[in-house]
Structure 1
Amino acid sequence: MSEKPISVLIVDDELPLRQELRSLPWSTLGARLVGEAENGAEAAALCEELQPDLVITDITMPIMNGMELFRTLRNKWPQTQVVLLTCHSDFHYAQEAVKLGALDYFTKLSFDEEDMQALIDKTRAAMSRQLDLRHYGQDQQRRQLAKLVNMLTKEGSVSALELQTIWEAWQTEAPLYLNRLAIDVQETNRFHLMTELEQILKQWEHAPNHHHTSAFQWCLTGDREVLLVFRQAASEADAMLLMDQLLAELHAALERALPYMSGAFQLLAVTGEAVRQPQDLLSSLRSIAVTPALLFYGRPLATTAARDAAQGETEPDAHQDALLIRQRWLQAAKDKTELQRFYQEDFGPWALQNRFNPAKLIAYFLRVREEAIAAHSHLRHSEQEAMTAQLLAAGTLTELISLFTRELAYGEGDTRKVRKEVQLARKIIMEKLGEPITLTSVSEEVGLSSYYLSRLFKEVTGESFNDYVTRLRMEKAVQLLQTTQMKVYEVAEQVGIPSYRYFSQLFRNWTGVAPTEYKKG
């Protein structure tokens, strides 16, 4: 990939010199001329608009001379490189400017195309060093902030100085909104996913024109957590909307970068209330802790009641609608179709709205389920004990509802109908196993939302979308390693996992040995 051209602004009150510089073959030099100015004041206004990489300026000019312009640029746009054009009488000014950070100086009469090429190369190198230093400084600041944030969250008391340190690092204009992003992912995928997530956030942070650049700051606060600080939200609702947009973009970016992990992770977030002063930071940090209820239900609602409920203290039996839900449940249990509708349209939304403690919700369900089975013999089946164990281990409400629905299909044997959308999805997966397959792309082909296809896929197959695709890929990888002379990296590409490191880890987890060892027999 060719390097981005260096943008150059020329500043000189003499038209012949500007014309001479204008005639240089800028594209050949790896640069582009973005503007000209006759004095420092005019140049400063252009810099506000253009923000050039390099300013080549005369020293002696009317209104604002080159030294004044240099000081202005150093103060407002320190990333812009400055080169001074001098007459012999100006040497001491030019030398002073170089000591203060100017890139270089040249004598007007001897400046030629060769000098300009060297200058462009020098500008590019200086910009690269500057960028590396900025990245390093930002990484250091994030690590220090993460350490301090974790200490604040865990310890019982903190000093006003520590709160002020965080506030000054984040605060530009109150209020601030703290958001904790939790990544629900298996340990097998965690390292690769978190590494990619961090790279995406860094890219957005370093992209001058990305619309998120000025919207937030961030730091890792755990092996599956990121803290984001919004600086420009107008209200809590606005902060939650911004978080929703960011989640959607992050998810899409991760799916593009890691298509072989599609459906294997979930991004969840909690948004805190407005922080208007340093002493509010601690309570806000603790209020956005990632609770079991958050992981089970997903994002809490933007209301105090929902946030309180998300802490998981509400008892299902004590809820005002508990008796009504139980009555509807027992009534619906007379017919499997009605019972499935009840799970999807009554029980699920009720549980999601009230966000009960997950363990208490499951225990409540099992009690009422036993009543329903006792009252309606057609609900009994040979694998009741195994199903109970799966229900107790459900990690999310979606998984719990899927298990409820799958339970109804037991005993129907091969006559159970497989939804045509799932059949089509399986066909697409088989045909495109060596390509980047994502839950989003497959759901678009079958005409369902990704959320609904994910749920339906697990109900029908008993496997999540990602587990199903991974199993097929590993089975094909085993077959290729056994029957062909393909190298391991070629096998990885053939089964749609171009990351050699991730493929090796996945294969080892699947078979118990590394692919190189497996190939040796």
Structure 2
Amino acid sequence: MKKLKVLIVDDELPLRQELRMFPWEDCDAILIGEASNGEEALRICAEVCVPDVVITDITMPIMDGIALIRELKKRYPIVQIVLLTCHSEFQYAQEALRLGALEYILKAAIDDGELKQVLDKGRLAIKRERKSLDSEKAEKRQLQEALFGKLLHQQQLNNADWKAFELDGRSAYQLIRFIVDVPDTLYLTIKHRVQCLFSELEASHSDRLTWLSVRKQEYFVIFIVQDWDKEPVINTIEDVISRLNAMISGAERPHEYTHAVQAVISEPFAKGEELVHSIDGTTAWIEALFYDSLEGNKVHSGLPHPLNPITDTHVKEISEMLRKSAWSADSLLACLKTEFFNWCVIQRIQPVQLKQRILGWLVEWLKLQGDAELINPTITNLMAVRSLPQMMDSLITAIVKVESERSQSRSEIRSALQWIRDNLKQPLSLPIIAEQVGLSPQYVSRLFREETGVSVTQYITQLRMEKAMELLKQTNMKIYEIAEEVGIPSYRYFTVMFRNWTGVPPTDYKRNT
């Protein structure tokens, strides 16, 4: 154990001065304060430090020793209480011992040796009671976590179950939901330290606070609001968040996880059914933090800004943004980092729907690049993200990986791809392209499919149709002019090819865009 923290409570100054001179350090103890009555002692416990041992007089003004013992045992059950008494107060001393006091000492005959023995006795009692209390607390926490898990899954509790939460219906409570947003591997590294931090917080406010670990990377704290000003509560929560973030950033890749922890505070509640509403209120923030974690706030309360279901207009805008930028990896990455990112922040589409739509686009893009083996890990990574920046990181990682592998492909095929893009208006064929790169048509055909996943003809058709769609949308060129611009001088052939590619004739496509 650490040094015993001792608090002296007596209205007689000479006696306090005498005890002040006691060699506390020699007894592996430290004097943390003095009080002249019970109320002052309780204030020290609440505002300064909870002592291990309280040495108190019985007869005092404002609040006497008996009333103080009752309050201490109710608020701080492990605190050991030693009575200072006179011969005439023995009947009060017996009452105090019945209430849970550890020992009594006669004021007229305070002896250093006797006081040291009492402190040693207190140290043993604290160890014994702490072990018992820890076991009892662990069992209670386990039961509360199981019941809280039911509430999270919107299951009903019976009256007996509600009693486990010890909500008295008179006190005001609040629920704090801490979200630790890090990869599973990193979380497992720090999980024990995180739980120790919450246990430390609970020990500091044992009469007001309890914490539960119900879901992976989420912690729930229930605390009594009475007598707690809002500002100190927020300061306490922010301190916990700062310590958690420091713990996480110190474990691995500090530049990535310096703001990994967020907290949501519910509205005050008093009864069980109100706790259900508080859980629902904090749950509403889980999806909202996909966007709102971008802000500087670490602590959130009230209702978040609403999220929007994805619409056909949204789908069209997403497709248009990504299609326009898909000519090169650089333009695609720039779009994701700026235009698309900002669009997502403004639209606030429900995260699951947004991820599903982006996942569909990415799978098609990967297939087009000939990197189908990246599809499964990309799906796993993308669906696991919990914030917009993480989603962007996942997309950018996949694109960069494809481009990195592509940069290692045959230089002749890279030259062929660039030559096709630069000469799209000209007649193109496999023999012409093979001649440009100095290889046989058969060899170019095989390498081209290996590198891109499509044939030369399919690639040329895709580029021409995408270019035509862009010109139909953005210019007033006539259909035959667009056909010539994309290298298909036959108006009839262009119309048939465009209909096969898009499902509608060029005139209808232009009219509807």
TM-score by length of 1: 0.58
CA distance in 2, matches of 1:240, 1:43: 31
- Note the 1:31-430 alignment, pairs <5 A: 31-34=29-32, 42-51=36-45, 52-59=51-58, 66-67=65-66, 70-71=69-70, 73-74=72-73, 79-154=78-153, 156-159=155-158, 162-163=161-162, 166=165, 168=167, 172-173=171-172, 176-177=174-175, 179=177, 181=179, 185-186=183-184, 192-207=189-204, 217-229=210-222, 246-256=240-250, 258=251, 271=264, 274=267, 276=269, 277-282=271-276, 284-285=278-279, 308=307, 314-315=309-310, 318-351=311-344, 353-354=348-349, 355-357=351-353, 360-366=356-362, 369=365, 380=369, 383-395=370-382, 396=385, 397=391, 398-413=393-408
Displacement of 1:122: 1.9
CA distance in 1, matches of 2:137, 2:30: 30
CA distance in 2, matches of 1:288, 1:85: 50
Displacement of 1:163: 4.9
Change (3 A) 1:125 1:264: same
- Note the 1:363-512 alignment, pairs <5 A: 363-366=359-362, 369=365, 380=369, 383-395=370-382, 396=385, 397=391, 398-413=393-408
Displacement of 1:18: 4.9
2:398 aligned counterpart, secondary structure: helix
CA distance in 2, matches of 1:363, 1:62: 72
CA distance in 1, matches of 2:178, 2:162: 18
2:97 aligned counterpart, secondary structure: helix
For 2:470, the equivalent position in structure 1 comes to none
Paired residue type of 1:325:
I
Q: Deviation digits for residues 55-93 of structure 1, max 9, x if unmatched? A: 434556678765565456556665543323344444343
Displacement of 1:299: 5.3
Q: Is the 8 A contact 1:179 1:227 kept in 2?
A: yes
1:326 aligned counterpart, secondary structure: helix
Q: Is the 8 A contact 1:163 1:279 kept in 2?
A: no
Change (3 A) 1:243 1:365: farther
Q: Is the 8 A contact 1:88 1:107 kept in 2?
A: yes
CA distance in 2, matches of 1:267, 1:33: 40
1:7 aligned counterpart, secondary structure: strand
Paired residue type of 1:404:
I
Displacement of 1:47: 0.8
Change (3 A) 1:348 1:405: farther
- Computing the radius of gyration over CA atoms, which structure comes out larger, 1 or 2? 2
Q: Is the 8 A contact 2:366 2:375 kept in 1?
A: no
Change (3 A) 1:221 1:388: closer
Q: Deviation digits for residues 116-162 of structure 1, max 9, x if unmatched? A: 11122222233333433443343233211111122233465444664
Paired residue type of 1:48:
L
CA distance in 2, matches of 1:5, 1:95: 25
CA distance in 1, matches of 2:86, 2:366: 95
Q: Deviation digits for residues 350-378 of structure 1, max 9, x if unmatched? A: 4463224266224432377389x6xxxxx
Q: Is the 8 A contact 1:142 1:219 kept in 2?
A: yes
TM-score by length of 2: 0.59
CA distance in 1, matches of 2:237, 2:97: 45
1:102 aligned counterpart, secondary structure: coil
1:334 aligned counterpart, secondary structure: coil
2:333 aligned counterpart, secondary structure: helix
Change (3 A) 1:36 1:335: closer
Q: Is the 8 A contact 1:59 1:86 kept in 2?
A: yes
For 2:452, the equivalent position in structure 1 comes to none
Displacement of 1:264: 9.4
Q: Is the 8 A contact 2:210 2:222 kept in 1?
A: yes
Q: Deviation digits for residues 323-344 of structure 1, max 9, x if unmatched? A: 2333332332334432220021
2:100 aligned counterpart, secondary structure: coil
For 1:23, the equivalent position in structure 2 comes to 21
Change (3 A) 1:105 1:270: closer
1:411 aligned counterpart, secondary structure: helix
Gaps (5+ residues) in structure 1?
374-379, 416-521
Q: Deviation digits for residues 278-304 of structure 1, max 9, x if unmatched? A: 324335545656999789889599796
CA distance in 2, matches of 1:124, 1:281: 39
Q: Which moved more, 1:6-15 or 1:340-349?
A: 6-15
Q: Deviation digits for residues 404-426 of structure 1, max 9, x if unmatched? A: 243334432399xxxxxxxxxxx
Q: Is the 8 A contact 1:59 1:66 kept in 2?
A: yes
Displacement of 1:114: 0.7
2:6 aligned counterpart, secondary structure: strand
Displacement of 1:104: 0.9
1:402 aligned counterpart, secondary structure: helix
Paired residue type of 1:200:
L
Q: Is the 8 A contact 1:296 1:358 kept in 2?
A: no
| Larger RCO, structure (CA 8 Å, separation 6 or more) | 1
Q: Is the 8 A contact 2:190 2:247 kept in 1?
A: no
CA distance in 1, matches of 2:43, 2:236: 27
For 2:6, the equivalent position in structure 1 comes to 7
Displacement of 1:44: 1.9
